[in-house]
Amino acid sequence: MSTAPIAVITGAAAGLGRVIATELLAQGWRVALTDRSPALAAEAVAALCAETPAHADRLLPLALDVLHKADFEAALAAVQAAWGAVPQALVNNAALTLPTKVMDIAPEEFSRVLDVNLRGCLLGCQVFGAAMAAAGSGRIVNLASLAGQNGGTASGAHYASSKAGILALTKIFARELGPRGVTVNAVAPGPMDLPSVHAMVPAERLAQIVQTIPVQRLGDPRFVARMVALLLDAGAGFVTGAAWDVNGGLYMR
């Protein structure tokens, strides 16, 4: 059986999660791609297998709705059944982004976004963090956002609030799990050159946003994926509780 390290990525069927999965696969990881839709997870795995057939035995599609703790527990059990080990890494990537103006956000919509983005991160850290701590080591990376640091520009207030919460949860779990060999970090990207960004933000508005970025360009999601991979590395044991900024200079500190 392969001894390659195992990573689980939530919301990995498309977008940044898919880019991260591709990078980890290229670096030799076994990767469980999860999505709320089992069909979309399976399609993503099939596409990656078609691109690199030799990697087929290092990919696992899983259904996981981040709203439910039982789904995280089932995913953990499925990975252990398939590959015989506790995952060494979790990437909490799944997120819901709605650009509703702040004065128009209904209470139900606010709760929905925070449940997916923030509660999902909490549950992932609880379930996988406990398993990693019992094993004596592990890495968790939470996808936060520039929006959680500066209040957002094109994203909704509920999205920005949830990402700010993720930054706080990252520190809380870093303190909780650090003594047991598990590091927890956040990556906070600014506007990325992703189909989802182009779909959400009108072209004229996106061009205006780019003009406000000191480096005058959108971010490269492949660089974010490499940053995530670095934080998941076995040698990254002295890095925890940190938020790693990738924002083109929009937020300097």
- The DSSP secondary-structure symbol of 219 reads B
- From 181, 201, 182, select the one nearest 191 (Cα to Cα): 201
Q: Taking the CB of residue 51, how many other CB atoms lie within 10 A of it?
A: 10
Task: Tell the residue number behind the tokens 């780019």, with chain if given.
Answer: 210
251 is a catalytic site residue: no
Give the Cα-Cα-Cα angle 126, 41, 110 (nearest 5 degrees). Answer: 55
- From 19, 20, 5, select the one nearest 141 (Cα to Cα): 20
- From 244, 220, 221, select the one nearest 232 (Cα to Cα): 244
What is the rounded CA–CA span in Å between residue 35 and residue 14?
9
What is the rounded CA–CA span in Å between residue 178 and residue 115?
26
- The DSSP secondary-structure symbol of 180 reads G
Catalytic residue among 92, 159, 184, 194: 159
Tokens for 224?
């974010």
What is the rounded CA–CA span in Å between residue 165 and residue 170?
9
Asked if 131 and 76 count as a contact pair (C-beta separation under 8 A), the reply is yes
Asked if 149 and 96 count as a contact pair (C-beta separation under 8 A), the reply is no
Query: What is the enclosing helix (H) or strand (E) of 208?
Result: helix 203-212
Q: Which residues are part of the catalytic machinery?
A: 159
